[in-house]
Structure 1
């Protein structure tokens, strides 16, 4: 990013252009990444039946937990790489990338071994039954080892974007998704492997993406080159990566833990079909969340660069642009979810019971959707400007202070509908917390600017 503001005269128009160049490819990247599991769900739901998609939905919390390693090293590594490039230090950027890969590999390997050894116990703890666990086991036995590639891909993509190659990252990941879409019907229907075929197709497509990403890092055109000696771990770099990525890591961990609790409530009040419905609903809510996370990833290097160089006005312009864009996306998602619910759920299943539960749940859980754009963007902003504790507080408060108590209270009064309503309630309260921190930050900035003008 060293040549973005060569004359140090950038204004709001420059920021909007820069935001488009970074955020839009990142948004597409995140959507494309989310399509891996969604494509699996559609093919499995249509080809293997309602119980198969319920079994697949049972795996979602653990897939989220598996991905926390990629989040830790991807977010932490990208932030440090962006800072190294702004200091015109490509050698340091290479070391950071290598250390992020090393950390990713070690942590992923440990988690994979643990997961495979305790797989049945994990699935029972997640709310599985004798009807759904066989499907979940077949899927995860293949996908858990493949999570190493998923986490590496996430780290690679974030690093490429931090180095200013957002479009290359987007093209590579899109290639992997297209491969997954083509391979799914071949393995599910052609080879008649069912849910196992979906997992094989996903892992193979991840292999394709990983190979292309590695080739990018060895290309002469890449500004960030990967060399073998950069993989040697350096404690200070590892600590920095962990420190920066910890907020995002904790957010993902808490989300996975809450999903486990959610599954337990769904199993108690709606059975296997309620868990399957939640899998269908999350397929659409994840699409919106991924778009918003793409905005966060796109604005992160811009915020980090301008915050590090003291350009507070450009930081404010970037944040406002991100909030406007994120809020617009969340509002569109709300309109589509409420207006097209029957047609959206039919993409996954034709089972009348699962259709009814999913349609009702989709409409209820989307009630506060217009608010999450502001909430997610502001949380990511504090992470990007070295105020990670605030980001952690906002995320933990949503999950543990509001959502979990609401699940217990609302379900006692309204049953399954209460579980669905607990989600928009938590989003509403989390947005209130985000507004408070945002208002407080603006007040501090105004006072600081006034003092600077006086001096």
Structure 2
């Protein structure tokens, strides 16, 4: 693999550079999303649709703790990108060391708390009835591996901040391939059920951590830290915290949404509606992988060039990223509108020896999920503007607007909608809330981004 220097972020043509950054990111996200998708298909076919609902209950808790690592990673990587752009490598090294220390301290503390309150957290997130026991099994095992996942998510953003997208891509592929391989061994061959699904996921986290650890020890990384860099510095912690809080707040709101939706849907239709949301949640991760890939590729380009005061390149990167992301989002939209029945059927077992409860659940899911999927993804073509706009402010270190725009869709619009509309429209009210929130948040982000470009990026 050819050695790549971070300086190329400030010299190569934006279109070519964005493709070089976004394609590996997209492939990595695709493989991770396929992992989530195929993992759910395996679980649904080999264990049952109730198991999909159980995993969906656990995800917000484990993802929130892992998101602490992502928040520290993205907040610190914004600093690293700008520091490398301005030639301040010392600050980049100190930031990276502080990221590692902070990630370990925070995530281990959260895991201890999560294990202490397992019986309270699972029902709170919708793990009721027949969902509780399989959810508890999965939750307890996966939580042990979450600190390694947090370190992986933190390290991956730093690798991308160095301008090494191919290595970041490999780091995202490894846990996915490992998880699917272990799924086959632990669930299908060993017949470990939910225990097997949980250990497969945890094994994937450990494999990813081993690769990222190797990368930073090898000559491929420019960031060679010493013991002094692990000592926490208040000024760096404040900057990591202010920027990382954007990501953390987004994931916190996502966890709240899982809590609300799992409980709202359980009250409206029981385990079957929770299972539908589990399928749609997997599709949200999978279907939008190229849009998220463009967003991830955009971040280091915008951050580096902003740090180097090359504002014309920053503006060009915004427009190019929105154009590319909108194109792939439109392609995704067409596929989801045409094939929702086929996609739903992938998650359901056709075994003849299923329990009667499982057969009823599958029939309900097959009737209702395609309509839900079409409604949830109805505004997909326009979300590129919202994602790139919010990412820009995070990339250039403007924490307050980044936070507000990140929370616009899920916090300011979506949560009020899911609390209100189901009272009038039942389960359809839940699904209608998704596109309405997408449209409103995109309008707000577009207006804010246009003002930012005119005020701070226009070249006189």
TM range (shorter): over 0.9
Q: CA deviation at 1:388?
A: 2.5
Matches within 5 A, 1:61-210: 61-210=60-209
Do 1:288 and 1:329's aligned partners in 2 also have CA atoms closer than 8 Å? no
Match for residue 8 of structure 2 among 4, 14, 17: 4
Match for residue 437 of structure 1 among 425, 448, 451: 448
CA RMSD across the alignment:
1.9
- The residue that corresponds to 1:407 in the other structure is 418
Q: CA deviation at 1:92?
A: 3.4
- Taking a change above 3 Å as real, the CA distance of residues 5 and 259 of structure 1, as seen in their structure-2 partners, is closer
Matches within 5 A, 1:228-239: 228-239=227-238
Match for residue 423 of structure 1 among 434, 441, 445: 434
Residue 33 of structure 1 pairs with residue 32 of structure 2 = yes
Residue 363 of structure 1 pairs with residue 374 of structure 2 = yes
- The residue that corresponds to 1:335 in the other structure is 334
Residue 272 of structure 1 pairs with residue 271 of structure 2 = yes
Q: CA deviation at 1:445?
A: 4.7
- Taking a change above 3 Å as real, the CA distance of residues 400 and 84 of structure 1, as seen in their structure-2 partners, is closer
- The residue that corresponds to 2:218 in the other structure is 219
Q: CA deviation at 1:36?
A: 4.1
Structure 2 residues without counterparts, runs of 5 or longer: 350-361
Do 1:160 and 1:224's aligned partners in 2 also have CA atoms closer than 8 Å? no
Give the whole-Å Cα distance in 2 for the aligned partners of 1:130 and 1:269. Answer: 14
Structure 2 SS opposite 1:132:
helix
- The residue that corresponds to 1:388 in the other structure is 399
Cα deviation 1:42-92 (Å, max 9, x = unaligned): 211010012111211222322332222022111012112222322444443
Q: CA deviation at 1:128?
A: 2.0
Give the whole-Å Cα distance in 2 for the aligned partners of 1:245 and 1:401. Answer: 20
Cα deviation 1:196-221 (Å, max 9, x = unaligned): 11110111121111111111111123
Structure 1 residues without counterparts, runs of 5 or longer: none
Cα deviation 1:163-210 (Å, max 9, x = unaligned): 122112212332332222111110012111112111101111211111
Number of residue pairs aligned between Structure 1 and Structure 2: 444
Could you tell which deviates more after superposition, 81-90 or 293-302? 81-90
- Taking a change above 3 Å as real, the CA distance of residues 71 and 175 of structure 1, as seen in their structure-2 partners, is closer
Q: Tell me the TM-score normalized by structure 2.
A: 0.91
- Taking a change above 3 Å as real, the CA distance of residues 102 and 60 of structure 1, as seen in their structure-2 partners, is same
Q: Tell me the TM-score normalized by structure 1.
A: 0.92
Q: CA deviation at 1:251?
A: 1.4
Give the whole-Å Cα distance in 2 for the aligned partners of 1:231 and 1:194. Answer: 41
Q: CA deviation at 1:289?
A: 4.1
- The residue that corresponds to 1:291 in the other structure is 290
Give the whole-Å Cα distance in 1 for the aligned partners of 2:454 and 2:79. Answer: 28
Structure 2 SS opposite 1:367:
coil
Do 1:187 and 1:193's aligned partners in 2 also have CA atoms closer than 8 Å? yes
- Taking a change above 3 Å as real, the CA distance of residues 439 and 222 of structure 1, as seen in their structure-2 partners, is closer
